[in-house]
Structure 1
Amino acid sequence: MGFALTIDLERPFGEVLAATRGALAASGFGIVSEIDLQKTLRDKIGVDVGEHVILGACNPRYAQRGLEIEPSLGVLLPCNVVVRHSAGLTVVEAIDPETMVMVTENPAMADLADEVRQALKQALDQVSAS
């Protein structure tokens, strides 16, 4: 199993980034952090990686449930969603919540991870369809 849910789109980066923000909101996720990796790496070390934004997406209800099951889950939050430009495509990648089950080695996380995975997949499907 991979660690990311991924879609590749032949659409402009800015359009996909906006659609991703909207789709995450429609699926109950707020953006609690945003890192413009292109700007950060260019400013800090003079390297250009192309358009690349990391969105820290959080659904408070899922986060609270996860913390009840696994108190140390906070080290894996928020769910990172990346929008980047690569080889003529705009790529959207979200952490696969199944990773939470593998990393925590807590099988009690499985049902919640499935729910979060479906919500993130729904958001990516919405981005693909928009």
Structure 2
Amino acid sequence: MKFEQLLSHFDTGICIDQLQKESLLDLALLFIGVDGKIDDSEKRVVYEWANQLQWNSTIALEDYFEDSLSKSVLAVQQNDIESFIQHRMHHVVDEPMRKFVKELVIKVIEADGVVDDAEKRALAVLEAEL
């Protein structure tokens, strides 16, 4: 019985870790398009970071990347940025990851050399969740 509990806790740990990775990736992808355009330099920052992850999902990283990018573009178009950020930040429970997400999105929004007002507003929403 204890072995089964150990496996269950191990599986839960993997699931929580993967959910945090997915949430971090979702947030980084949101910040690619939060200014209303998809910039290749911003996309490259996220793609290079994502390829370093230990991805533990049945969904391939590339497929998740494209699907999540589409969802983040939709959130921007529907002016649903705040709830998108709040929902993802709810799943980022480790303090080091919470700090890292801010560093990551700053790298993303600075990658194209221009940080516009929409990016600043979205960053303020993210900071309020930290």
Which TM bucket (shorter chain)?
0.3 to 0.5
Q: Give the structure with the higher percent strand.
A: 1
Q: Give the structure with the higher percent helix.
A: 2
**Which structure is higher in RCO with an 8 Å CA cutoff and minimum separation 6?**
2
Name the TM-score, length of structure 2 as normaliser: 0.33
